């Protein structure tokens, strides 16, 4: 079967820092793939490469039609770790704006949004402003926004981070439902138990390299261990590097702006205040 998305000999560097090296991944339809690794492992860099936000330093990230993913982002739905919602808009207005950018009719977007909103128990809050939303409500809204245009592939970066137990469970159930309907989800997390619950394939990332790629049972067999935690520890025994996923150098304008707005350490302190 032709993969929906392929990473071929991908390398991503930021100056002298090698964030991702020698990555080859095929993503097929009707699967939930877990990207598992600690902070700085390279998960977010991989997701940004898959979504076309980053261009690889070497290699290619292609869809099934051989076109670079950066040219066809409409086939992707992305939920970043930071939701990026417009606080002065309602949940539905955020979703509608995003759908219109993809050329989706409002009625079609609403029908799809409302269906998933009921599953996430947020249907009665679609016309509320997101400014007062909890972290869980914002995360659910971002998920609805990513689904409204009917993407072929859904990319989730730590989708349950900071959520309460009930909200996290609801998100995991939605992912399972999408998979049962033939959807494809790439699920980044540092929680092994969560990956085991929702993913039928797990890719372990450590220090910018793919350390293992397979089903949970295959990973246990590869390491001759009884739990995924034991397998993970064995596969990532090398000391983890510092977090390097957001190390692109700021522009000269950005540097100048920071100098202008950052208080000087030589400022005098009025002790009477």
- pLDDT of 248 higher than 60: no
- pLDDT of 258 higher than 80: no
* Alpha carbon 75 to its chain's center: 15
Whole-model pTM? 0.81
Judge whether 192 lies within some domain: yes
Q: How many domains does the chain have?
A: 1
Judge whether 193 lies within some domain: yes
- Domain of 184, CATH number, reads 3.40.50.300
Judge whether 269 lies within some domain: no
Judge whether 196 lies within some domain: yes
Radius of gyration of the chain (CA): 20
Judge whether 267 lies within some domain: no
pLDDT of 262 reads 55
- List Cβ neighbours of 81 (8 Å cut-off, separation of 6 or more): 44, 157, 158, 161
Alpha-carbon distance of 193 to 20, in angstroms, equals 25
Mean pLDDT over residues 148-169, rounded?
88
Residue-number span of the structural domain to which 143 is assigned: 5-261
120-144 pLDDT, tens digit per residue, is 989 999 999 999 898 889 999 999 9
Judge whether 270 lies within some domain: no
Pairing between β-strand 58-63 and β-strand 5-14 as defined by DSSP bridges: antiparallel
Judge whether 268 lies within some domain: no
pLDDT band at 86 (very low <50, low <70, confident <90, very high): very high
Judge whether 156 lies within some domain: yes
50-68 pLDDT, tens digit per residue, is 988 999 999 999 988 778 7
């Amino acid at each position: 079967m032709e993969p929906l998305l392929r990473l071929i000999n991908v390398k991503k560097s930021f100056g002298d820092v090698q964030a991702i090296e020698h990555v080859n991944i095929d993503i097929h339809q009707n699967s939930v793939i877990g990207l598992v690794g600690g902070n700085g492992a390279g998960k977010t860099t991989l997701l940004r490469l898959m979504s076309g936000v980053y261009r690889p330093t070497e290699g290619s990230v292609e869809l099934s039609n051989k076109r670079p993913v950066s040219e066809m982002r409409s086939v992707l739905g992305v939920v970043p770790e930071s939701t990026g919602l417009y606080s002065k808009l309602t949940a539905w207005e955020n979703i509608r704006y995003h759908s219109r950018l993809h050329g989706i009719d409002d009625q079609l977007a609403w029908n799809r949004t409302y269906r998933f909103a009921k599953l996430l128990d947020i249907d009665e809050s679609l016309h509320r402003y997101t400014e007062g939303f909890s972290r869980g409500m914002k995360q659910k809204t971002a998920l609805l926004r990513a689904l409204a245009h009917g993407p072929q592939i859904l990319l989730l970066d730590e989708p349950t981070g900071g959520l309460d137990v009930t909200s996290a469970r609801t998100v995991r159930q939605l992912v399972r439902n999408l998979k049962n309907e033939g959807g494809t989800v790439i699920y980044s997390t540092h929680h092994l138990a969560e990956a085991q619950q929702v993913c039928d394939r797990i890719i372990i990332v450590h220090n910018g390299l793919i350390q293992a790629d397979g089903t949970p049972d295959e990973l246990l067999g590869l390491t001759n261990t009884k739990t995924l935690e034991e397998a993970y520890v064995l596969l990532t025994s090398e000391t983890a590097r510092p977090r390097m996923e957001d190390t692109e150098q700021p522009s000269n304008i950005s540097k100048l702006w920071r100098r202008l707005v950052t208080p000087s350490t030589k400022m005098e302190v009025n002790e009477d205040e």
